[in-house]
């Protein structure tokens, strides 16, 4: 069999395979969270999210809002050296992120089995 024929068979199979893969994954809400940071943040975002009294007081100071918290839970970095420790019948996660005004923040989130609670919001001091 000539190279051109083999290449044509290869292309036909490749196109059919791509079509079936696109068909299977097109309507589904699939995520590929391979790294630990992405898995933790996705787990926290998918659970019912609540705010502690201390977090509500910090939100009332108006230097941070819920949009900043959602962005931090989407794009933040989990500090695994201080995280994943048992805390109040859940696990504590320390997440570092930024506000819209580029102010660095630290979120302390307690991850329970059926919910996530924002325990504390800390404004990171500006380093010079």
35-123 carries CATH number 3.30.2310: yes
Alpha carbons 52 and 126: distance in angstroms, whole number: 25
* CA atoms of 50 and 25, how far apart (whole Å): 32
Tell me the average pLDDT across 30-50. 82
Q: Please give the angle made by the CA atoms of 59, 64 and 69, to the nearest 5 degrees.
A: 90
> Which residues are 108's β-sheet partners?
94, 120
Whole-number pLDDT of residue 29? 65
Q: In this predicted model, what pLDDT tens digit does every residue of 43-66 receive, in sequence order?
A: 888 888 888 888 888 888 888 888
**In the chain, where are the structural domains located?**
35-123
d(CA 38, CA 35): 6
Q: Evaluate whether 109 touches 89 at the Cβ level (below 8 Å).
A: no
Please give the model's pTM, rounded to 2 decimal places.
Answer: 0.69
Average pLDDT over residues 71-88: 83
């Amino acid at each position: 069999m000539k190279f051109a024929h083999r290449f044509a068979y290869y292309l036909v199979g490749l196109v059919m395979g791509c079509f079936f893969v696109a068909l299977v994954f097109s309507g589904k809400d699939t995520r590929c969270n391979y790294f630990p940071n992405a898995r933790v943040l996705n787990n926290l975002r998918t659970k019912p999210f609540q705010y502690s009294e201390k977090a509500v007081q910090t939100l009332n100071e108006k230097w941070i809002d819920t949009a900043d918290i959602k962005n931090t839970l989407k794009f933040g970095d989990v500090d695994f050296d201080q995280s994943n420790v048992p805390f109040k019948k859940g696990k504590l996660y320390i997440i570092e992120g930024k506000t819209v005004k580029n102010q660095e923040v630290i979120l302390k989130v307690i991850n329970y089995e059926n919910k996530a609670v924002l325990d504390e919001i800390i404004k990171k001091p500006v380093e010079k």
